[in-house]
Amino acid sequence: METPLRILYVEDNDLVREVTSELLAGDQREVVALGTAEEALREFSEQSFDVVITDVSLPAMSGLDLVRHILGVKPSVPIIIASGYFFDLSLQSWGSNVRSIIKPFEGADIDALISELCAPAEPRTTSHFPAPS
């Protein structure tokens, strides 16, 4: 049996967190849903996650500050920043493992983004040249 994809989901709105957690959950997914960036940092330091999804607007520490902290600990972790408005990630230099999505989003859209970010790296092919004679 495959290990489930572990998702850390951070959203301060209780109703949105509950509904989106259900949307994210699946047979091969385990969702840990929290309401603050501080709780998320604590959980991230204690457990392993395959992807982090966070709202931008959180009480106290923002979702963007959470992203900075997480990338400082594990620079390669896939992260999705969810926002109610267009968010231009080109202003940040966080790398290809950080993406954004506009809320509200459809299940198919977030699923596609998670699949893209968490896809195993394709093996590199090497060219085989004939040995010089």
pLDDT at position 123 is 44
Q: Where are the alpha helices (DSSP H) in the chain?
A: 14-24, 37-46, 63-73, 107-118
Q: What is the pLDDT of residue 119?
A: 84
Hey, what are 75's tokens? 């620079």
Q: 89-106, pLDDT tens digit by residue?
A: 665 678 889 998 999 999
The per-residue pLDDT of the chain, averaged, comes to 87
Measure the CA–CA gap between 133 and 19, rounded to whole angstroms. Answer: 66
- Per-residue pLDDT band at 80 (split at 50, 70, 90): very high
Quick one: pLDDT at residue 2? Answer: 77
- Residue 2 or residue 16, greater confidence: 16
Q: What is the band of 8 on the pLDDT scale with cuts at 50, 70, 90?
A: very high
By percentage, how much of the chain surpasses pLDDT 70?
85
Q: Does the structure show a pLDDT above 70 at 5?
A: yes
The pLDDT confidence band at residue 125, using thresholds 50, 70 and 90, is very low
Residue-level pLDDT at 91: 55
Domain boundaries, the chain: 5-118
Say if residue 125 is exposed, middle or buried (CB neighbours under 10 Å; 0-12, 13-18, 19+).
Answer: exposed
**Residue showing tokens 């195993």:** 120
CATH numeric code, 5-118 = 3.40.50.2300
Say what the pLDDT of residue 127 is: 40
